[in-house]
A and B are shown apart, each in its own frame.
Chain A
Amino acid sequence: MNVTEHAEHHPALQHHFEDLGQQHEASTLGMWVFLATEIMFFGALFFAYALYRHQFYDAFIAASHHQNIVLGTVNTAVLIFSSLTVVLSVYFAQTSNRKALVWALIATMILGAVFLGIKAIEYHEHFEHHLFPGQNFSMPEVTLPVAQNAQMFYVLYFLMTGLHALHMVIGLGIFAWLTWRANRGEFSIEYYGPVEVCGLYWHFVDIIWIFLFPLLYLIGRH
């Protein structure tokens, strides 16, 4: 299994790096720089949310009451659980436990798919209840100006959760590729950078949801 004993250098070492340690640091830093741009990307939406919530507070409370708090909480738990399976996959990669690594990655993908499935059920509910912004939007229990403003909540809701879901879908693709590589026994303590770096991406998407959950589901519940 151990290639380093026979080859001159580790097969994963790119020629422009001194050693695998430097390569690992460079790839991790590269992912953090990408995540910094992602913080600004989502940051603009979080700002828009803060501004409109400040302007239309009553409408945001009314709209938030239509959110399914049970499904939202379950989805938060599912995503945190998937972050656990991701860090366990880093551990199994570091300890060269190929079988456990592959299973941890598969578990992550299953949990990611469960999250998206629950999100789809929620979206379906919103469409059924005329909560998609546009001509057919209706919130009969509040006055019309409030209902108009509540549309802004749903514009931001669909933008933010939709962008988040898109990141999840991309994450599933990345993890499928990672599982294929892990199954070939590519990862060990010397070389587990891809598992770590893809994990960083997954945790970032988890952190976005950690903020979205209270902002979209838990306003004015008392």
Chain B
Amino acid sequence: MAEERPVPHKDPKHHVTPKRTYFFIFFALMILTAITVWVAFIDLGPFSTPIAMAIAMAKASLVLLYFMHLRHSTRVTWVVIVASFLWLGVLFVLTFSDYLSRRWDPNHIPPFAEAQAEARQSAPAAQH
């Protein structure tokens, strides 16, 4: 019953990934976690956030490709995943293009200006 030998399989849909691959990816993820904490304490100026995000994307890619078996997935699965990230891109680009272009308008009232002014006004009253 407790037989660990991979069963020989004819069906290419059922790919058995060896355990050592999983352990290797696990250690890579742990090392990347350590790196992301380490670089957070180094002053990289404007590059801090892009580097942190690049490491997070590398980790996510490892999880997607090896743990979620995207390497052996069908093309239609790839279409679903690529499409979902594309839509996420649409969400970010279109909504940011609204918020960031508002200050191009000469009559523009900065977003959150009202809330900020309110906060400043109520400052002495709310002191505690």
CB within 8 Å of B: which residues of A? 1, 21, 24-25, 28-29, 32-33, 35-36, 39-40, 43-44, 47, 50-51, 55-56, 69, 73, 76-77, 80-81, 83-84, 86-88, 90-91, 94-100, 138, 143-145, 148-149, 188-190, 192, 196, 199-200, 203-204, 206-207, 210-211, 213-215, 218-222
Contact = CB atoms under 8 A, between A and B. Distances in A.
Contacts of B11: 21
Interface residues of B, number: 67
Contacts of B99: 51
Nearest to A221: B40
A88 B22 contact: yes
Contact of A80 (B30, B53, B127): B30
B5 interface: yes
Given A25-B74, A40-B91, A88-B19, A207 B13 contact: no
Given A24-B13, A36-B81, A203-B67, A97 B119 contact: no
B16 A95 contact: yes
Given A33-B80, A97-B4, A211-B56, 6 more contacts: A51-B96, A83-B29, A83-B63, A95-B16, A96-B7, A98-B2
B56 A21 contact: no
B80 to A, nearest CB: 5
Contact of A189 (B14, B73, B91): B14
Contacts of B116: 145, 148-149
- Interface majority SS (helix, strand, loop, mixed), chain B: helix
Contact of B55 (A91, A144, A214): A214
Contacts of B37: 69, 73, 218
A112 to B, nearest CB: 15
B76 interface: yes
Contacts of B128: 138
B109 interface: no
A55 B112 contact: yes
Contacts of B5: 95
B76 to A, nearest CB: 6
A83 to B, nearest CB: 6
A24 B3 contact: no
Contacts of B77: 28-29, 32
Contacts of B2: 97-100
B119 A148 contact: yes
Contacts of A86: 67
Nearest to B1: A98
A215 B11 CA distance: 42
Given A80-B29, A100-B4, A39 B88 contact: yes
A188 B19 CA distance: 17
Interface string B75-117: 0110011011101100110011001000000000001100110
A85 B60 CA distance: 17
B56 A214 contact: yes
